[in-house]
Amino acid sequence: MAAHDAWALVCRLFAGDTPVLRNTLSPRDAAALSVLGKAVKPTVIDQSFVLCPHCQQHRAQVWGDGRGGRMCRCPECGPVAVEVNDGAALALDEDWLRQKMRLALGIESRDGIDDLGGGVWRLGDARRSPVLLVRDLTRVLHEPALLDRVRVADGDIRVITPRPSTTRGSPFGAGVEWLVLEERFTIYGGGIALLGTPSPSSTPAIADPATPVNGPFSADFKWATLPAVQATPIQFTDGQAKVLGALWSFKGEATTAERIMQRAGLDSAKPSDLFKVKTKDRGKPEHEARLAAYGALVKSNRRQGVYWMPSASQDVAST
Ligand SMILES: [Zn+2]
């Protein structure tokens, strides 16, 4: 948790481009400082001028109020008491941030970091893709020429920015990969780590095995997502999964128990045998949920001895 809070504080300091007063830190931020080490450095904020605490509109000079306290004279509000503060503050060591970001991204190019001005840095090339660290997303959106300055012929540009308050979805077109600082990186072992790298060409590193792939079923038929039966995915036994997979393969066609069990590679006489709840398991939620799922998914005609799974039919699947 401390690492998460520490990274959130780093991102806030970077985005805000200004030190924070020590006594405004939350207890969680204060606890996170132990993780940050050299990433933050003490500084002092000049408090001879402050933002008027009353209207938050005007900067006003601070005076002693003659009674040991302090006040500012706001052009609009007049004299307003100002909380006494020692000005002790913390600033982000931005050079630390940029160097550790380079390591996190595997940037090994010998050329250093380019300060492009206005809170934009070219950190270097990661696998031939130029990487920009940008303090404020709107800056690159308003000045696309910045991207043209670093664009290369055969690689996307990566743009890393703190999470903006308004933008939804991706603000860039093709050729630019946008990484949100807060979401894609974290503090790790005194440095910065790039978190899982989802890309359209690869599956996520940790895929949920219950993810519905075949109708309500997971790829291996060991899970079914049926909110009407159970709020969470229902997990089946290996045998049940084989029967459900076999039933699915007949695409909703009524099929004899013998053919289904043959395709499932099981010795039982009929599909429902696998779902019977044994006396000792009566009332156990996982067993009852499996039986309920079977009841919801499989139809049968006992007289003809056939079974089918309506949700597996092509008609249903395409609607
Ligand atoms: Zn004011």
- pLDDT tens readout for residues 271-287: 999 999 988 888 888 89
Q: What is the pLDDT at residue 301?
A: 92
* Ligand 1 centroid from CA 139, angstroms: 30
pLDDT at 33 over 90: no
Q: How far is the CA of 53 from the centre of ligand 1 (A)?
A: 7
Report CA dihedral (135, 137, 138, 142) to the nearest 10 degrees. Answer: 100
* pLDDT at 15 (0 to 100): 93
Q: Kindly indicate the confidence band of residue 317, based on its pLDDT and cuts at 50, 70 and 90.
A: very low
* 87 CA from centroid of ligand 1 (Å): 21
Distance, CA 58 to ligand 1 centroid (Å)?
6
- From ligand 1's centre to the CA of 23, what distance in Å? 22
User: What's the whole-number mean pLDDT along residues 82-91?
Assistant: 79
Span from the CA of 216 to the centroid of ligand 1 (angstroms): 60
* Dist. CA 116–CA 147, nearest whole Å: 11
CA of 118 to the centre of ligand 1 (A): 30
**What pLDDT was estimated at residue 24?**
82
How many angstroms is it from 18 CA to the middle of ligand 1? 22
Q: Which amino acid is at 218?
A: S
Tokens in use for 47? Answer: 């408090």
Q: How far is the CA of 98 from the centre of ligand 1 (A)?
A: 38
Query: 52 C-alpha to center of ligand 1: Å?
Result: 5
- Distance (angstroms) between ligand 1 centre and the Cα of 80 equals 7
pLDDT of residue 84: 64
User: Ligand 1 mean position to 91 CA, how many Å?
Assistant: 27
Percent over 70 (pLDDT), the chain: 92
Query: 76 C-alpha to center of ligand 1: Å?
Result: 5
Q: Calculate the CA dihedral of residues 131, 136, 140, 141 and round it to 10 degrees.
A: 130
